[in-house]
């Protein structure tokens, strides 16, 4: 085969890799050359087996012509490539397009693995000077050292600040996401195979098995439709988003926090980040962002909350067995011993799957007894969410489940305290600490769902209420009149409307959404975002609707200023809100504001919007 002027023979052995001409910016010994060559070689094998030698040769010829044109910019090569492509019939054109799409995906995967290899090499050498190429986690310690050395912050100041800050990572809804989850998973397995193939300690047998696995995954990806044939539902979006938790985020969070611990230790802080310090939390717009999406209904919001709750419980259930087998110690403090004795005497398990295992836990393994009870409650928590999601009702009593994260943490904290008291702090700071950090980060809901709705929808509901009360049209009132009336209602306790309130379909959607918020556990939700916010009354209206729909733990209300005029007016809007005593007491010194860039970019141009 030929690329960039080199003639290369196709080789089948994994040890005889193709050597392709790498781009100028890649050094001759760069692993990208080998990764790219191997993936391309395996793909061409598959193409030959599936479509024959002719189509394989055509793909190869086009690949060579494209590579030669890229390296020489010779227009004759481009013309020749055009002639080959226009000579193809419809069927071969489809295979050709799909082949090049596949090869582009494989080239990207090769580059990702090569970047990871380069980063690992730098870490092994201790070379972190090149900030642009060092992995993010390696910069933690460098950042701390700069804070100490350049900004003259003490290690204790860094530690105290770290414990009191939060990064909220929000998964937004993207119904137009082009790559299917099936393909993402296959690409992940291809990356893993490629990484393992180049490990230093790999045996010839392992190498052969990995090569076969690589071939299978590439062929499976080639035969997987890249385009969804039906539009994904909001529930599909949620499941796709949750797959990232299962595959990376779930185990990545405790791993990251351990790296933070190590970086702190290396600047002189010999204390771990507390497991309940809110360094990272996760939110989502999937199933909550109804702004402009008519398919996000109150029922969808309810479903995605229950789905996330079920997934969270499932992740905990799958992990707590490992923790139970690890904590086999018999020494414990008196507090844990008494709790274990009580559970062993009085607990009556009614879940067949667990009865036999529970009987097998001897009384001299107190940690397993405590964690066995936790596991049973997690099982019931998962089953209750599953039944509610499927049928709207559940036969699992709520008192057999975890309803708050505090209930979940309490027995785990008891185990942690007991281990530390008995001189087993290193054991406590192992898998148990990781589990505590996961519970503190993800809670029972996995992510907090943000609700987003357009300000005019709230105005329509309030307008209908004022007409129902025969006091005029809220929509026609001045901003000052609106604020005065809304504040008067917020300070009072009288309900504003009953079941006979005339409602359009859009109004019912708004009110039913608030009722879903009131019915589900409060830890399911994050912020209530008002898109196209323009005035203080937009915020006060949402506060009033939360109260009217009996939301026991009101969501924080976040105005989203988007158009140029609204962005300019935003400081005055917030100043007015902060001058209202009722509102100032409501927010308790904290407030969140969102600044839009999409609509403002259309309205004012990208430069003005960015400014």
Q: Outline where 469-605 has alpha helix (H).
A: 479-491, 505-519, 536-548, 564-578, 581-587, 598-604
* Residue 508, phi then psi, degrees to nearest 5: -60, -40
What distance lies between CA 413 and its chain's CA centroid? 26
| Rounded CA separation 188/196 (Å) | 12
Cβ atoms of residues 311 and 282 within 8 Å: no
| Rounded CA separation 469/467 (Å) | 5
The residues, ordered by sequence, that sit 6+ positions from 455 with a Cβ below 8 Å of its Cβ are 530, 531, 532, 533, 534, 538, 541
Active-site positions read 174, 602
Extract long-range pairs of 274-279: CB within 8 Å, 24+ residues apart.
274/163, 275/433, 275/436, 275/437, 275/440, 276/409, 276/436, 276/440, 277/162, 277/163, 277/164, 277/440, 278/166, 278/440, 279/162, 279/163, 279/165, 279/166, 279/167
| Rounded CA separation 461/446 (Å) | 32
End-to-end CA distance of the chain: 52
Map residue 465 onto helix, strand or coil.
Answer: helix
The residues, ordered by sequence, that sit 6+ positions from 438 with a Cβ below 8 Å of its Cβ are 250, 253, 254, 316, 319
Using CA atoms, how far residue 254 sits from 272, 276, 315, in Å, is 12, 12, 14
Query: What is the maximal distance between C-alpha atoms in the chain?
Result: 86
């Amino acid at each position: 085969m030929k690329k960039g002027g080199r003639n290369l023979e196709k080789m089948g052995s994994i040890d005889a890799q193709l050597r392709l001409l790498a781009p100028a910016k890649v050094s001759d010994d760069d692993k990208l050359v080998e990764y790219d060559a191997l993936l391309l070689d395996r793909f061409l094998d598959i193409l030959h087996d599936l479509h024959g030698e002719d189509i394989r040769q055509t793909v190869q010829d086009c690949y060579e012509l494209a590579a030669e044109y890229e390296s020489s910019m010779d227009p004759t090569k481009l013309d020749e490539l055009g002639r080959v492509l226009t000579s193809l019939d419809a069927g071969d054109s489809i295979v050709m397009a799909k082949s090049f799409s596949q090869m582009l995906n494989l080239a990207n995967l090769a580059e990702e693995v090569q970047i990871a290899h380069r980063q690992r090499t730098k870490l092994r050498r201790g070379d972190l000077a090149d900030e642009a190429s060092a992995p993010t986690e390696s910069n933690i310690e460098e950042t701390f050292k700069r804070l100490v050395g350049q900004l003259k912050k003490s290690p204790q100041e860094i530690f105290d600040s770290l414990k009191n800050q939060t990064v909220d990572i929000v998964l937004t809804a993207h119904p137009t996401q082009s790559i299917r989850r099936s393909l993402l998973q296959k690409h992940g397995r291809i990356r893993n195979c490629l990484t393992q193939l180049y490990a230093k300690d790999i045996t010839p047998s392992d190498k052969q098995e990995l090569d076969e696995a690589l071939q299978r995954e590439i062929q499976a990806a080639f035969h997987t439709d890249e385009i969804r044939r039906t539009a994904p539902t909001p529930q599909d979006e949620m499941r796709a988003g949750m797959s990232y938790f299962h595959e990376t985020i779930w185990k990545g969070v405790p791993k990251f926090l351990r790296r933070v611990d190590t970086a702190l230790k290396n600047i002189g802080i010999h204390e771990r980040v507390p497991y309940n310090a809110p360094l990272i939390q996760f939110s989502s717009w999937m199933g909550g962002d109804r702004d402009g999406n008519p398919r996000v209904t109150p029922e969808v919001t309810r479903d995605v909350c229950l789905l996330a709750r079920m997934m969270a419980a499932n992740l905990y259930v799958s992990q707590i067995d490992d923790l139970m087998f690890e904590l086999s110690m018999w020494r414990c403090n008196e507090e844990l011993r008494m709790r274990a004795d009580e559970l062993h005497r009085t607990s009556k398990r009614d879940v067949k799957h667990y009865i036999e295992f529970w009987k097998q836990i001897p009384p001299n393994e107190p940690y397993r007894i405590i964690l066995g009870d936790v596991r049973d409650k997690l099982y019931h928590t998962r089953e209750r969410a599953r039944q509610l999601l499927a049928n709207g009702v559940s036969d699992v009593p709520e008192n057999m489940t975890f309803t708050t994260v505090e209930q979940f943490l309490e027995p785990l904290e008891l185990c942690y305290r007991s281990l530390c008291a008995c001189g087993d702090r290193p054991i406590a700071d192992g898998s148990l600490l990781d589990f505590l950090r996961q519970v503190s980060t993800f809670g029972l809901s996995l992510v907090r769902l943000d609700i987003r709705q357009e300000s005019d929808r709230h105005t329509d509901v309030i307008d209908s209420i004022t007409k129902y009360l025969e006091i005029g049209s809220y929509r026609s009132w001045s901003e000052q009149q609106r604020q005065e009336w809304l504040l008067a209602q917020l300070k009072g306790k009288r309900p504003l409307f009953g079941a006979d309130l005339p409602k359009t379909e859009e109004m019912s959607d708004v009110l039913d959404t608030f009722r879903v918020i009131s019915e589900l556990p409060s830890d399911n939700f994050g912020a209530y975002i008002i898109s196209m916010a323009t005035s203080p009354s937009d915020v006060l209206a949402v506060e009033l609707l939360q109260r009217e729909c009996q939301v026991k733990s009101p969501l924080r209300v976040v105005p989203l200023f988007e158009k140029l005029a609204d962005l300019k007016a935003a400081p005055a809007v917030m100043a007015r809100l902060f001058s209202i005593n009722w509102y100032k007491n409501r927010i308790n010194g904290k407030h969140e504001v969102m600044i839009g860039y999409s609509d403002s970019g259309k309205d004012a141009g990208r430069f003005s919007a960015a400014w």
